[in-house]
Structure 1
Amino acid sequence: MRILLQIVVVVAVSWVAGTGVQALGWNWPLTLVVGLLAAVLAVVAYGWIVRKTENREPTEVAWATAPGALSRGVLIGLLMFVAVIVNIAFLGGYEVRGLGSVTGALAIFGFMAAVAVTEELMFRGLLFRLVEQRFGTWISLTLSGVLFGFAHFFNANATLWTSLAIAVEAGFMLAAAYAATRNLWVPIGVHFAWNYAQGGIFSTSVSGQDAPQGLLDGVTSGPSIVTGGAFGPEASIYSVGVGVAVTVVFLWLAKRRGNLVPRGGRTAPAATLGA
């Protein structure tokens, strides 16, 4: 019942938040404000249900750790995508033709804030964390990563390859980020920055979804294995490579900190919160 209550509350709030933001039709002031409010509401709901069902403080979303942990996550996510887009551009697959839209970038900011927070709460805050407590880090990372990839299978322009790419470069990587830090603000920051850089800055498709033009008037062309095709750069082999590299670093850090949970073992320590 404890797990069921957590799932019901977080999924319900996430669904309402996501539906509300999508219904605004990219009206930039409303999408920006409602998206940010939806993100805050989702965190508050998660904290409330964790306190109620687990009789503990939800230190993984402690507001005191948010500024530093979010900043580190955002920096990592931005650097990851910049590395990807630079490599795509080097092969002629991406070109900047001029400036884009500031209002479009603001709308995408609010939308991606809601997406990053709600998805991290569901997939890392609940699924990964709860499965890890019983089956250990490795099984939980694999399961949550595969399900995260499969959840994107029904997006526009999705294929089996795109779902696999999302599972490897994002599902595994974001779970590893949480395992290394025991702080959800870090994967939230990485997730948000990665998505926002794609649509809000470089104006590429994000997980197959079109959005208003971002800050740059950019276009992609060329082989799908390089550019990601209609699904966007997340289906590029470069994204998979960068995601694997960052996953390895986070897992190394988790092991060094003693944060890897054995199957049927203890709950991982929270000593590295905000790291």
Structure 2
Amino acid sequence: MPENIAFRTPASAPAWQRWLIYSAVARIAIFTAIAIGLGFSVRSVLSSLGWMSKTATPLQSALAGLSIELSATVIAYLALVCLIERRSPSELSLRAFPAYGLAGLLSGFLIFSTVVGVLWLCGSYHVLGINAHVDWLSGVLIAGAGAGIGEEIAMRGVLFRIAEEGLGTWWALAISAVFFGVAHIFNPSATPWSSLAIAIEAGILLALVFHVTRTLWACIGLHAAWNITQGTIYGIPVSGTDAKGWLLSSRTGPDWLSGGAFGAEASVVALLVCTSVSAVLLRIALRRKSIIRLRKSRGVTPSCEATPTS
């Protein structure tokens, strides 16, 4: 089976372009610089409008956070793909959203509901009541759409994809998982164990979802639904951030089971459930022979694009 690589360095590119424009480090640096610059610019505009102040309405605060996240990552990614890699961003094709995006949303809901179900059977998760007036707006817009789109573009669309193109699938899985875990070490109530758990259960799982489907919509849907289901529905902290959900809940038992103050993502249950799903995806990749091997050089054409596969 041919390697499904989105971008290959043009064979005619001179040495300086290969290092300063087309290399993995250069493309990641270009994306990062554009994203940071756009993020600060949008934040400044919204601050001047009062949307970042303490007096801002919940809707303004939610839309401000979403605008900063999306403007930075989406525009930076399109600039990287269209101007540097000079290809169509097929991994973000809107035609793939109905199938892969909705499948991702359903998968995220089912996976995290399985985690909660096992915690409930183990006597760790308890429903105390129902909050019919829950403020779901920030959870859906920021923890759901914002984190889902922003983090997946950065971690899977940029870091994993580019690392896979240069170093192969195995190294890309390891590198992107480590970065994803480290990115959560500064969250409230985070511990070395919670970051390790996030790296394995989410970092590897979401990277394999992208590897198998070759579309970011599946990753975005799963990530968004995971956060919304966890916080907005089941009332469990999302990566250490307190969440008030539709269900008023509590968790008891040792931290290795309940996840402690960080949330169920730090539970061994989440680790086992997600690792099981990752194992299924890895088996699919191995059967398809789609694992990209590390090679010293890849010669190429700039027009080879990844195509979502079913």
TM-score scaled by structure 2? 0.80
Q: 1:85 to 1:245 in 2, by over 3 A?
A: same
Distance 1:224 1:11 in 2: 36
Aligned with 1:107 (options 138, 158, 162)? 138
Q: Deviations over 1:3-27 (max 9, x none)?
A: 1322322354467779979947795
In 1, Cα distance between equivalents of 2:207 and 2:282: 9
SS at match of 1:104: coil
Structure-2 change in CA distance of 1:248 and 1:17 (3 Å) = farther
User: Shift in Å at residue 90 of structure 1?
Assistant: 1.2
Counterpart check, 1:5 vs 2:30: yes
1:30 matches 2:60: yes
Q: Deviations over 1:236-261 (max 9, x none)?
A: 00100011111111222223334321
The separation in 1 between residues aligned to 2:43 and 2:202, in whole angstroms, is 20
Does the Cα contact within 8 Å between 2:124 and 2:253 map onto a contact in 1?
yes
- 2:177 aligned to 145, 165, 177, which one? 145
Runs of 5+ consecutive residues of structure 2 not aligned to the other structure: 1-19, 22-26
Residues 50-80 of structure 1, C-alpha deviations (whole Å, 9 max, x = no match): 1000010011111221222111111111111
Q: Which residue of 1 aligns with 2:273?
A: 242
2:31–2:76 Cα contact (<8 Å) kept: no
CA contact (8 A) 1:120 1:187 kept: yes
CA shift in 2, pair 1:68/1:43, >3 Å: farther
1:183 equivalenced with 2:215 (yes/no): yes
User: Please, which moves more after superposition, 31-40 or 224-233?
Assistant: 31-40
Deviation at 1:33, TM superposition (A): 3.8
- Maintained 8 Å contact 1:148/1:171: yes
Counterpart in the other structure of 1:253: 284
| Aligned twin of 1:66 | 97
CA-CA distance at 1:269 after TM superposition: 6.5
**In structure 1, what is the equivalent of residue 192 of structure 2?**
160
Larger CA deviation: 229-238 vs 26-35: 26-35
Q: Please give the alpha-carbon distance, in whole angstroms, between the structure 2 residues aligned to 1:5 and 1:261.
A: 24
**In the alignment, does 2:124 pair up with 1:124?**
no
**1:196: which partner in 2?**
228
TM norm structure 1: 0.89
Contact 1:84 1:242 in 2 (8 A): yes
The answer on whether the counterparts of 1:9 and 1:45 sit within 8 Å (CA) in structure 2 is yes
CA contact (8 A) 1:146 1:167 kept: yes
Following the alignment from structure 1 to structure 2, what is the Cα–Cα distance between the partners of residues 18 and 155?
A: 21
Q: After superposition, what is the alpha-carbon deviation per residue over 1:130-159, rounded to whole angstroms, capped at 9, x for unaligned?
A: 111111000110111011111111111111
SS of 2:241's equivalent in the other structure is coil
CA distance in 2, matches of 1:247, 1:17: 36
| Paired residue type of 1:125 | G
RMSD over equivalenced CA pairs, Å:
2.7
Aligned sequence identity (%): 35
Is 22-31 or 106-115 further displaced after alignment? 22-31
The CA distance in 2 between the partners of 1:72 and 1:152, in whole Å, is: 26
| Structure of larger gyration radius | 2
| Stretch moving more, 4-13 or 62-71 | 4-13
Distance in 2 separating the partners of 1:16 and 1:111: 19
More helix by share: 1
* AA partner of residue 153 (structure 1): I
Structure 1 equivalent of residue 5 of structure 2:
none
Q: Secondary structure at the match of 2:249?
A: strand
Change (3 A) 1:102 1:18: farther
